[in-house]
Structure 1
Amino acid sequence: MIGNKTILFSAPINFGFSEAIKKELEKLNYTIIDLSNITQQPFRYNGLLQRLHNCYRKAILQDYEFKKILRARAHEDYLNSLVKIIPNCQYGLFIRPDLFPRSFIENIKSKIQTFVAYQWDGLNRYPSVKDYISLFDKFYIFDNKDLSTSTLPTTNFFINSEDVNHYFEKNEKAYFIGTYEKKRMPNIIKLKNILNNNGIDDNIILYTNSKTTKSEIVNNGMHCIEIQLNYKENLANTINSAMLIDIHNPIHNGLSFRTFESLGYNKKLITTNKTVKKYDFYNPNNIFIWDEKNTDEITDFLNIPYEPVDNELKEKYDFNNWIKYIFDQKEHIPILLPN
């Protein structure tokens, strides 16, 4: 018998996202079978060629998930053995399903009544995921160029149920956190200097395990971390900051979590993603789209007060509505993508 609001769940563990989502599902009274950590099982390359291929994907394609995919494939037999003991579930939610071998998704499908996937990266960044789309009842994407007859629209979201009142160490800094990517470093450095010249201090945190890139980060006056912050630490930094920075990856046009955190926590945002202008919550008093040609306008933006956003519009992008929407539950607000 299918359990009432039982969900088979998996999401990348980066920056504690999977744990944060799991906590929100628990608050919504879901019984969770969590597979997120399975892709982190110990792994060894099967040879030098595979190791070099992974290095190539990281250095050239900025694909930091390839090793996780290899790890999951190496444990394919173990994963498929789990199918026998996982109970029937009313729901299934796999964020980045390509982190699992396709055979496992095929085998587990029969145990899930409503089986949904969400790819929170562009399909062309991880093209192997295209082979998974047909395995799900619904497959959601966040970039309108990936829309097709086989995919459905949604966006990222913000988590609103945390008690934000205890984050009281307010500062006037601009906050950015992310994984080091060489191609976006020039923009990060340039924007940091622009803000500093306007009297705005920054809290820019980049994650890397490379000694070379660590030196580059530190020498440019930024913070380097070798262990990813958990979501609660990131949330504290977000809420305590005066504004947020979003340097998006040009491989896709989907809006980052940083964009929706700025909406949910009433923060000003400076972003390089021009697509945000097409969304219903866009307000030039709150969101500055920096294209390097309009640097002189940043000073005026910094001096304009934040303009509160209507609560109903914020509710649309709250995780509570997001989960109702992707499972097509009652009383949800549809989350569509702009043309």
Structure 2
Amino acid sequence: MESRLKNKKILFLCPLFFNYHKKLIKAMESMGAEVKFFDERPSNTVLSKALLRINPNFVKVQIKKYYEEMTMKIQDEKFDYIFICQAEATPKSFLRNVKNMNPQAKMVLMLWDSVANKVNTLEKLEFFDVVYSFDKKDCDKLGLTFRPLFFDEEYEQIAEENSLLVYDLFFVGTVHSDRYQILKKVKEQFEKNHSKVFYFLYIPTKLMYYQRKWLTDELKDSHISEFSFVGMPSDQLTAKLKQSKTVVDIQHPKQSGLTMRTIEMLGANKKMITTNADIENYDFYHPNNICIIDRNNVVVPAEFIQSPYVPVNEEVKERYSITYFVLDILGLTDEKEHHFYVEE
């Protein structure tokens, strides 16, 4: 696989979401590709991202200027692939132009959010040769191609290292929707068994904390001291994860696709507690490794807490690696569609 993209030029547009864009660039370049990268969004301020999600017309002028400048920068280049993640900000005029400038290029879109959260993306699907989504329900409804997310070598290394386990339960993430209430109930059940828990609950600002506490039930009975308003450095997160046996993942109520965290824990050989019942249909599911909880009636069986991790078949696991993900997205694997999902 090391040279499958040798001498191929890829135009890659992706939102700055943690460092996933850097990981994908590294994976493509390691296989020989020349990658030209642009942030898919014109700005990453909280206000700009909020306005973009509410209605792109609010930032229409900013988007137009940003993509016109991008077009100028790439007008003399020819690409083999145009690979875009999300296309939330990407205007139709840019997609039309880049397609005309690169008629031989394969245009690929990857959605790692549910269409319910990215409704303005639907009008752009016609410009792509193939549209992938991590959400099986969206694929079935809209005729998209199903493709779960990936883990990179960082998580493979965690799986290979025999670190001393310190924590029985681990969670690091942003608190939204009903996450806090579910996390609290899971924690209580582990602590009843004298288990050691590590939680890092992040909220962007203290103002946001007080708004949610006073105006909603999301943070009912919480205390501000439980939360951090500064993100955890990635090296600290990795160190804590290595020391943990079981990870909690609570997907957004509007999502049915498996989160990045879920796939990363597959790569790291970690047990998982999740609210996503659809995980039972995936080819790597094993009841020893994955406990599905009802977000309205949170129960973690004692036998799950005590059960050992059962290794996943390496051939199955490999298909979720970042290298395989890139090749799959670009149409360079021989696998059939929906090979991740086990349907009865």
Normalised by the size of structure 1, how large is the TM-score? 0.81
Q: Could you tell me whether the CA contact under 8 Å between 1:205 and 1:224 is conserved in 2?
A: yes
Query: How far is 1:249 from its partner?
Result: 1.2
Aligned counterpart, 1:138: 130
Q: Relative to 1, partners in 2 of residues 1:202 and 1:155: Cα closer, same or farther, differing over 3 Å?
A: same
Aligned counterpart, 1:22: 25
CA distance in 2 between partners of 1:123 and 1:247 (Å): 18
Q: Relative to 1, partners in 2 of residues 1:136 and 1:292: Cα closer, same or farther, differing over 3 Å?
A: closer
Query: How far is 1:239 from its partner?
Result: 3.3
How many residues were matched structurally? 322
CA distance in 2 between partners of 1:245 and 1:132 (Å): 35
Aligned counterpart, 1:176: 171
Q: What CA RMSD, in Å, does the superposition of the two structures yield over aligned residues?
A: 3.3
Aligned counterpart, 2:115: 123
SS of equivalent residue, structure 1 residue 251: coil
**Mapping of residues 1-339 of structure 1, within 5 Å:** 4-36=7-39, 39-40=42-43, 54=50, 65-66=53-54, 74-86=62-74, 87-112=77-102, 113-147=105-139, 148=141, 150-160=143-153, 163-164=157-158, 170-214=165-209, 219=223, 222-227=226-231, 229-230=233-234, 234-291=237-294, 297-331=300-334, 335-339=339-343
Q: Could you tell me whether the CA contact under 8 Å between 1:144 and 1:338 is conserved in 2?
A: no
CA distance in 2 between partners of 1:262 and 1:41 (Å): 28
Please, which runs of 5 or more residues in structure 1 have no aligned partner?
46-50, 58-63
Q: Could you tell me whether the CA contact under 8 Å between 2:209 and 2:224 is conserved in 1?
A: no
Q: Could you tell me whether the CA contact under 8 Å between 1:179 and 1:206 is conserved in 2?
A: yes
CA distance in 2 between partners of 1:136 and 1:311 (Å): 32
What do residues 209-249 of structure 1 show as CA deviations (whole Å, max 9, x unaligned)? Answer: 2314547687276442434755x654444334222111111
Aligned counterpart, 1:48: none
CA distance in 2 between partners of 1:233 and 1:6 (Å): 35
Aligned counterpart, 1:61: none
CA distance in 1 between partners of 2:257 and 2:53 (Å): 18
Query: How far is 1:90 from its partner?
Result: 1.0
Query: How far is 1:8 from its partner?
Result: 1.1
Query: How far is 1:15 from its partner?
Result: 2.1
Q: Could you tell me whether the CA contact under 8 Å between 1:141 and 1:155 is conserved in 2?
A: yes
CA distance in 1 between partners of 2:289 and 2:225 (Å): 26
Query: How far is 1:42 from its partner?
Result: 7.0
Instruction: Select between 170-179 and 312-321 the one with higher mean Cα deviation.
Output: 170-179
CA distance in 2 between partners of 1:227 and 1:261 (Å): 19
Instruction: Select between 305-314 and 109-118 the one with higher mean Cα deviation.
Output: 109-118
SS of equivalent residue, structure 1 residue 157: coil
Q: Relative to 1, partners in 2 of residues 1:252 and 1:149: Cα closer, same or farther, differing over 3 Å?
A: closer
Q: Relative to 1, partners in 2 of residues 1:266 and 1:251: Cα closer, same or farther, differing over 3 Å?
A: same
Q: Could you tell me whether the CA contact under 8 Å between 2:9 and 2:35 is conserved in 1?
A: yes
Amino acid at match of 1:81: E
Aligned counterpart, 2:3: none
Query: How far is 1:78 from its partner?
Result: 3.3
Amino acid at match of 1:224: S
Identity %: 25
Normalised by the size of structure 2, how large is the TM-score? 0.80
Amino acid at match of 2:150: F
Query: How far is 1:192 from its partner?
Result: 2.0
SS of equivalent residue, structure 1 residue 307: coil
Query: How far is 1:171 from its partner?
Result: 2.8
